[in-house]
Copies of this chain bind each other. A is one copy, B any other.
Amino acid sequence: MIQAPFLLYLGHSSDSVGIKTSRGLATFRSGDCLGEFRHDDCPLTLGLPRLTIEEAAAAGARTLVLGIAHAGGAMAPELIDDARAALEAGMHVASGLHHRLRDVPVLVALAEARGLRLIDVRDPPADLRVGSGEPRAGRRLLTVGTDCSVGKMYASIALAEGLKARGLAADFRATGQTGILIAGGGIPVDAVVADFISGAIEQLTPARHDGGWDVIEGQGSLFHPSFAGVSLGLLHGAQPEALVLCHDPARAEMRGLPGRKLPGLEECLAANLDAARLTSPQVAAAGVCLNTASLEEAEARALCRETADRLGLPATDPYRFGVEPIMDLLCAAPSPPAPTASR
């Protein structure tokens, strides 16, 4: 999809959640990441060598990845300047923002003149259809969240890997720009036209008959007033057999919405199960993934234990403690019967 090695862009960001696309590549495609580019006012680092555009080009970087994200996804003037510098240094430029590189004439002209590519990862396919909700074959797991950016992508990748480690066929199905860059494919569901949300997910995860799993990356939260529509359409399109709830215990308020509290885990899970039943009557919860990065290990273990007891479900931090407890539950569950068209 995009040519490695990458130079990962942090720019002027001071929001550690906002650089999650760059961080995702640094984590999951570390071998392809040559360094990070940040301005002097950026307090963040991914732990990669800090390179100027020119240094990165000289070291062989092929693509500058604008791996920052923020609500609305506007293309700031500084960002355009930096993208221009990368093109001038001979690099392709990839972006996951809502605003498209191809809509910035100066970048389009420069890329054409130099024979370089502008890659807008958030371009959905042109041939989407509306969803049908028709039952389809295959086992599907969807990660859902109490909020945006609480670890759904990370959990999804870890769960797909966990299933493979148990000898099952499993595919991570990316629905956001970071996941798409990591997986090399997917559909940016928050960028499709609203009428096609559930249809896009039906298309991303068509019927499968090999007994394997599609592990679908969730987006947003049913409790986030900016994005709940995306989350609901995704839930209906996914037609999941299993839900895994993701949560960041350090998150004091909904992302981008000062003062708005996160839902409780029980409330959030119940609402997701309820809504999912519209297209997947047998849906069940399969576990909870906590992002415990803010906690000491003992606290993190205690929180997982307490959460598991309270919800009666396996609870883990997939990064810190792995996904085995959830695997045990998933692999113990019988395959669902073949779907029928009756409802």
Interface of A is mostly: loop
Which listed segment binds B: A84-92, A209-217, A253-261?
A253-261
Fill in one digit per residue for A109-141: 1 if any B CB lies within 8 Å of its CB, else 0: 000000000000000000001111110000000
Contact status A230-B195, CB under 8 Å: yes
A62 at the interface (CB under 8 A from B): no
Fill in one digit per residue for A189-231: 1 if any B CB lies within 8 Å of its CB, else 0: 1111111011100000000000000000000001101111111
Fill in one digit per residue for A175-192: 1 if any B CB lies within 8 Å of its CB, else 0: 000000000000001111
Minimum C-beta distance from A177 to chain B (A): 12
- By a CB distance below 8 angstroms, the chain B residues around A53 are none
Contact status B236-A195, CB under 8 Å: no
Minimum C-beta distance from A176 to chain B (A): 11
In the bound assembly, the distance between CA atoms of A227 and B72 in angstroms comes to 22
Which of under 10, 10 to 19, 20 to 34, or 35 or more describes the interface residues of A? Answer: 35 or more
Within 8 A of B (CB), among A296-343: 341-343
Contact status B192-A225, CB under 8 Å: no
A169 at the interface (CB under 8 A from B): no
- By a CB distance below 8 angstroms, the chain B residues around A71 are 130, 195
A273 at the interface (CB under 8 A from B): no
- By a CB distance below 8 angstroms, the chain B residues around A342 are 259
A170 at the interface (CB under 8 A from B): no
Contact status A133-B226, CB under 8 Å: yes
Contact status A229-B233, CB under 8 Å: yes
- By a CB distance below 8 angstroms, the chain B residues around A142 are none
**Knowing A198-B226, A232-B232, A236-B228 touch, does A132 contact B257 (C-beta < 8 A)?**
yes
**Knowing A130-B71, A223-B278, A229-B229 touch, does A260 contact B195 (C-beta < 8 A)?**
no
Contact status A227-B259, CB under 8 Å: no
Contact status A227-B195, CB under 8 Å: yes
Task: Name which residue of chain B comes closest to A71, CB basis.
Answer: B130
A288 at the interface (CB under 8 A from B): no
Contact status A193-B98, CB under 8 Å: yes
- By a CB distance below 8 angstroms, the chain B residues around A156 are none
- By a CB distance below 8 angstroms, the chain B residues around A232 are 222, 228-229, 232
Extra contacts, 17 of them, besides A132-B257, A192-B193 (Cβ < 8 A), are A72-B130, A72-B195, A73-B195, A98-B193, A132-B226, A132-B256, A133-B260, A189-B194, A193-B193, A194-B229, A197-B229, A222-B232, A225-B237, A228-B275, A229-B232, A229-B233, A259-B343
Can you list 12 contacts pairing A with B, beta carbon distance less than 8 Å? A130-B256, A131-B226, A132-B226, A132-B256, A190-B193, A190-B194, A194-B194, A194-B230, A195-B226, A195-B230, A198-B228, A261-B343
